[in-house]
Amino acid sequence: MRTLILPKDAISAWCRKIKEAGMCLVLPRESDGMVVFEEATDDTPVELPTNYTKSKLSPKSYLFPPTEALFSFCFKQDDVELKDVELDTRRKVLFAVRPCDAAGINALSKVFLDEPSDPYFAVRLERTTLIALACESTTPSCFCTATGYSPYWDEGVDVLICDVDDAYLVRVMTDKGEECISLAQEVFSDADESHIAVAERKRIEIESKLPQKGELVGVAEKLIANFESELWEKLCRKCISCGACTYVCPSCSCFDVTDEWNPFGGCRYRSWDGCCFAMFTMHASGHNPRPTQAHRYRQRLLHKFAYFPLRYGMNMCVGCGRCIDVCPVGMDIYEIAKAMVEV
């Protein structure tokens, strides 16, 4: 790992060099009062939003699109002809991604790269460089520290940028990160101990404003032991199954597969799905093994804090708090998880 310093007024020059190298640069942008990730065009001014804490939606859609074509098919007289779709294989740089979103992409990679690996996700991830921006502030819904992560989380990122007041401290973590740095080597210089000390002080300060570190780490056994608790029904009955939590989550990986066709052929699509929906586990017979919303929310929470960590050694929930922000009935996954651990 290399640690460098980037002057704040040089970040635009670095981004321009990335674009000039033919890479697709994806940045957080202010739009209609919210922050969203968008591909920078030739006319896009390269600047980061002010007071940016987290985007409305995570940037996971650049690796795992909400809907994507898997292949097309054509009906022949005695056969069916399959044709692969053309993937967008451009080199992408996801720039200024928050550490919780980087952790979400890391969780997705555990799912989609586990054998047999998903070729669509694998190609996109291999062609993507992830440049994360450490958090300077928090929102009331943030709880990344409780789930084992941090506003300075760097696992799975290629470059981590930290604000050290008069400049950015840049930690280069991978070869892909080195490649991006090399495009504008002239604007970087070696960091000294004073810059590193400022970054560490800021990390400690912001983590102190968040929930207890590791509060919801290693709780799988307790949650599974409370599988039949009546408290699930009490805490989860107000959920209306709207799916907003699934839509904004940076680590949800569930999908449905559908065919759209006519007498001549068609296309197979993959689309996001969610375990909060009644149809998610509905059998053709009409039987549903998760008949109530409490059953379905229990599945969501146990997947995040029990089943996934037992398999991969890390929580699937990264504590971004987006599901709390968008829930129309005030469901709070952090408070519900704590309550179920303490039963």
Residue ranges per domain, the chain?
Answer: 2-54+65-208, 220-341
Q: Is residue 312 very low, low, confident or very high in pLDDT (cuts 50, 70, 90)?
A: very high
Strand order across the 167-172 sheet = 34-39, 24-31, 92-97, 128-133, 159-163, 167-172, 2-7, 189-190
| Per-residue pLDDT, 107 | 98
Task: Look at residue 42 and tell me whether its pLDDT is greater than 90.
Answer: no
Q: If DSSP codes are grouped into helix, strand and coil, which group holds residue 79?
A: coil
pLDDT: which is higher, 145 or 76 = 145
| Per-residue pLDDT, 50 | 66
pLDDT: which is higher, 242 or 46 = 242
Taking residue 4's Cβ as centre, other Cβ atoms within 10 Å add up to 20
Q: Which of 243, 323, 301 is nearest to 58 (CA)?
A: 323
For residue 277, give the DSSP letter: S
**Rounded mean pLDDT of 123-128?**
97
Provide the whole-model pTM: 0.93
Task: Look at residue 219 and tell me whether its pLDDT is greater than 70.
Answer: yes
Whole-number percent of the chain with pLDDT over 70 = 99
Contact yes or no for 159/180 (Cβ under 8 A):
yes
Q: Provide the sign of the torsion angle of the four alpha carbons 220, 318, 311, 327, taken in this order.
A: positive
Q: Which of 90, 26, 91 is nearest to 57 (CA)?
A: 26
Q: Which of 127, 145, 113 is nearest to 318 (CA)?
A: 145
Task: Look at residue 184 and tell me whether its pLDDT is greater than 90.
Answer: yes
Q: Is residue 47 very low, low, confident or very high in pLDDT (cuts 50, 70, 90)?
A: confident
